[in-house]
Chains A and B, each alone.
Chain A
């Protein structure tokens, strides 16, 4: 079903040759979204948790590719590093602490969560109706300071990437504050967990001998 829907744009793409680059990228986006949906349904259906962790890694890779296709390169970087790299490992270590298989849930208990998810999803879809079109030059995000950033970055900062210029220079103090917060959080975690646990191997050795 999903594949059949996704094949249709590809045949259109072969038919229209005026904008081959544009429509080919669009077909790739459709395919990525179809594979995302297929992965999500497979994750719901699967009971073996190791397989679910593997599929969540695939899901993160696919969504990162989709972010790149939508030009959100910085978000895609984060999704690839956190989603595909760290969170798969975190989920795996969570599985190591709990069970290997997911227990089946009673059918009566699934109705309320399903209803909540459907209501929230419908609300989100309703909210997207008011949003401006993708890449709309008159969208609120592009009219106020956005145009100023785009105009002034080449003279002010002389950095080719505008996102980098905004993050590192125009909002430099903001980024510095964020970095300090993240650094403090990491430092606090290390202090709470104990600095010796970084080299836990040595301590483990001492206990054994």
Chain B
């Protein structure tokens, strides 16, 4: 059930009415059943896999909490993390591994190529696996308590707004909200409505329309610099609209149930450095990689070379987390490399305060790095990456360039129109808090009619559903 389907809207209305009608005790049960129904809608067989993942995380955490000595705790933690990771690898990377190993063996003449292995990817597996690993490690570190109430724990894992594509919620944010009785305030209703409308606007108006404008370029085998720029710029904003749109819808819906999900995007394209970018883009993944991978690898505590290596390893894993494809590996390596280079630059020149001019230049420079990163992320093959990269240096612009740019600008402009005042005023709820009701209603009407008129029906799947 996609967020942008009418089936989901009916589902949501029914669940909201049931939760509102029910007493505090029943609410979590209704949400739990609804969340499992939501997940089972794709394929009920995935529920078994999801249940197994929940069982592993829950059981590991209980065992860690009850373990008499640190060694046992460590063993249970390792067992839980390995079990979750193995499940993810089996479902997500088995086909990729098989395909590449057989291709390599075939190239060496040791066996005939046997084609590909078709493996169905359970939706949301990367997200709920990372959530489970974070929970097990948090219990091991003692930063969160093991949850002994099974329904509460399953609801923490299955809560439907965040189940399929995050944010990758941590137990110490979401579990207490599930365990305590919740009240839905008027602010939750209004701010939730704003998030939902703006989220849908970003997805069906901005991301899906930009996709229509650029998808044909990504099917090319030869590019001009103009094509590459349009493709990179279009996909950069498409990816933002798609994923941050999903997150906003998820956060808005969660607010209607009295739950605050974590913030996942914070003006990422206004980042001044690659490091800053990862504090603003997919924050729940960036912080997960930092807390559960980069720091355990040693972080920056073992010298410059090891820091760079840790960054590259972390980002390679972050890249392949997105999917079993070589372009994600290249993208991860690219992210690790620019993070390392930035780290080396800071070590050489030292941290300094930005003037307005240097800040603007840094934002511009970082945006260019991001554009190239997004290009790698979206291109389908190594040949395409090479062709696009060489086209950049050829500096050739095709005649339709200006027209294509002009057709994309209104959608990028819409993001700026809505989000720049929030950024400049430093007021998170710029459009809806401390405003006259008529103003807020006008904002809602504007967003609603943008969705109704400009939204692409039957548009592309949310990009992050595939991860």
A and B bound?
A: no
Please report A residues at the B interface, Cβ cutoff 8 Å.
none
Please report B residues at the A interface, Cβ cutoff 8 Å.
none
